[in-house]
Amino acid sequence: MSSVVLRGFGWRHAGRRAWAVRDVDLEIAHGERVLLLGPSGAGKSTLLAALAGLLPGDSGEQAGLVKIDGPPGIVFQDPQTQLVMARSGDDVAFGLENRGVPAGQIWPRVSDALDRVGFPYPITRPTAALSGGEAQRLALAGVLALRPGLLLLDEPTANLDPDGAALVRDAIARSLDRTDTTLILVEHRVAEALPLVDRVVVLEPGGGIRADGAPEVVFAAYGDRLADEGVWVPGFHIPPRKSPNPPGETLLTAERVAVERRLDPVSMAVAEGEVLAVTGPNGAGKSTLALLLGGLLPPTAGRIDAFADPRPPHKWRASTLTARIGSVFQNPEHQFVTARVADELAVGPRRLGRTPAEITTVVDGLLDRLRLTRLAGANPYTLSGGEARRLSVATALATAPRLLVLDEPTFGQDRRTWIEMVTLLATLRDEGHAVVAVTHDDDFVQALADRVFPLGSLRRPDPLPRRRPS
């Protein structure tokens, strides 16, 4: 008996010439556990959204047949998009109430779902007090309480630190052990995801399916080719890109800078010609620190001095800030302000008063450099997660700032675009730019970081940078 049937399935977003996914023929038996792979932009998230019934007819064009046996449930990358209530138990109960489940059955099912994911708190725990990993487990419980016949997971550990990601994977494994639910999982952390699945399906970016079978069979037959095309095949080494030179002039210093209830006092310095990785568990304040360093949030204590300016960055004019510091948010869509990719890249240069010819040169160069040319006319909100991340980085580069502050720059990237991103940032560093990267990606740290600044940890930060000898 099949749980999922796709026949010639395709989807094209409204206003786009290219299909997000097309010509997919796929059949998944009831109870199978499938890992869905493919390079960034191959259509993985679009396919999951179609199976979840989240692609309304007025938002694009569908081809082919989609058929599922049993109600689906989906968990997204960011749990905050799914938590709707102030208390944890109420959040799990919300979906049951909307489904019309009899009142006497709701709270036993809530308790059962919370137990299955190992949720460590009582049902009265405020959702605002949860860490990223705890929030993701709660979101998973909300879906499991509905008892879906088909569980769809779209990179459920992407925004989590390694410990939080392991807890979520354990929660998924426990829940699957107790049911015959069909699973389709999209996950870039392939090696960690393999114990959850018994089948791998690889989407072909141009349409159709590249490979389908048991994990060991697919990787043995297609491993080299898949790695070359961007799939994170386990066991393939990534060469490091460490700086050959010591750091140069200090561009920014923070002295006991803090934000009440969000970040404890931090002192640090950032120098040109270095990549500084900010690491630590979810909830340690990494994203808050990124906003402070980027001049986008005023501290409630301490001070930031940068670029020999007597004013702190959060008091600079927008044009001054844009020229000196470029920021990339954890959620790319939070910084998009136009309806076209090319227009998004033109915002910064236009704010700096560049001529139309100069703006065109910058935009075309970044589109090419970050493999976004074919998407120049697309709406940024229709991009895949990996494409949106590359666009957000490109917008920060458009004004050629000396300091880049990036929050999870490699999030959602396939292996090829990950390597391209690391290479790009290494090139910028070697040209004298400073890069601060908030990251949970240990491969990124090992490959690129010249220093590591851990937050929420007993580990001591690496020494402050030394000035390059003149």
Give the Cα-Cα-Cα angle 198, 204, 206 (nearest 5 degrees).
165
- The pLDDT, as a whole number, for residue 21 is 94
Out of 105-114, 126-135, 164-173, give the one with best mean pLDDT: 105-114
In this prediction, residues 332-345 reach a mean pLDDT of 91
- 413 pLDDT more than 80: no
- Residue 49 and residue 176 share a domain: yes
> What is the average per-residue pLDDT within 40-64?
91
| pLDDT tens readout for residues 372-385 | 999 999 999 888 77
Same domain, 193 and 254: no
Asked if residue 219 and residue 288 are part of one domain, the reply reads no
Residue 234 counted as domain residue: no
In a domain, 243, yes or no: no
pLDDT value of residue 380: 93
pLDDT given for residue 183 in this prediction: 95
| One domain for residues 383 and 262 | yes
pLDDT at 457: 56
Please compute the mean of the pLDDT values over residues 424-453 and round it to a whole number.
94
Domain of residue 300, CATH code: 3.40.50.300
Same domain, residue pair 218 and 258: no
Q: What is the mean pLDDT of residues 133-144?
A: 90
380, part of any domain:
yes
**Is 435 part of any domain?**
yes
31-49: average pLDDT: 90
The answer as to whether 469 is a domain residue is no
Q: How many domains does the chain have?
A: 2
Average pLDDT, the chain: 90
| pLDDT value, residue 152 | 95
pLDDT of residue 1: 56
- pLDDT for position 16: 85
Instruction: Kindly report, residue by residue over 206-241, the tens digit of the pLDDT.
Output: 899 999 999 999 999 999 988 888 888 888 888 899
Residues 317 and 373 occupy one common structural domain: yes
What is the average pLDDT across 395-416? 89
Using pLDDT thresholds of 50, 70 and 90, give the confidence band for residue 459: very low
Query: What is the predicted pLDDT for the residue at 164?
Result: 80
Question: Distance (Å, rounded) from C-alpha 265 to C-alpha 254?
Answer: 10
Q: What local confidence, expressed as pLDDT, does residue 466 receive?
A: 39
Q: Is 276 part of any domain? A: yes
For residues 461 and 314, which has the higher predicted lDDT (pLDDT)? 314
Residue 459 in any domain: the answer is no
C-beta separation of 317 from 350 below 8 A:
no
pTM over 0.85: no
> Tell me, what's the pLDDT at 69?
86
Indicate whether 273 belongs to any domain.
yes
pLDDT confidence of 469, banded at 50, 70, 90?
A: very low
- Same domain for 168 and 104, yes or no, is yes
260 and 128 share one domain: no
Average pLDDT over residues 258-271: 94
User: Which among 172, 193, 228 is the end of a domain?
Assistant: 228
Judgement on whether residues 223 and 183 belong to the same structural domain of the protein: yes
223 and 261 inside one domain: no
Q: What is the mean pLDDT of residues 43-54?
A: 93
- The answer, yes or no, to whether residue 157 has pLDDT greater than 90, is no
Range(s) of the domain holding residue 290: 250-454
- Average pLDDT for residues 426-441, to the nearest whole number? 94
Question: Is residue 470's pLDDT more than 70?
Answer: no
Q: Average pLDDT in the 238-266 region?
A: 93
Give the mean pLDDT of 304-319.
96
Between 330 and 243, the higher pLDDT residue: 243
Say if residue 146 is in the same domain as residue 185: yes
pLDDT tens for each residue of 349-396: 999 999 999 999 999 999 998 889 999 999 998 887 778 888 999 999
Beta partners for 153?
75, 185
Is residue 220 located within the same domain as residue 274?
A: no
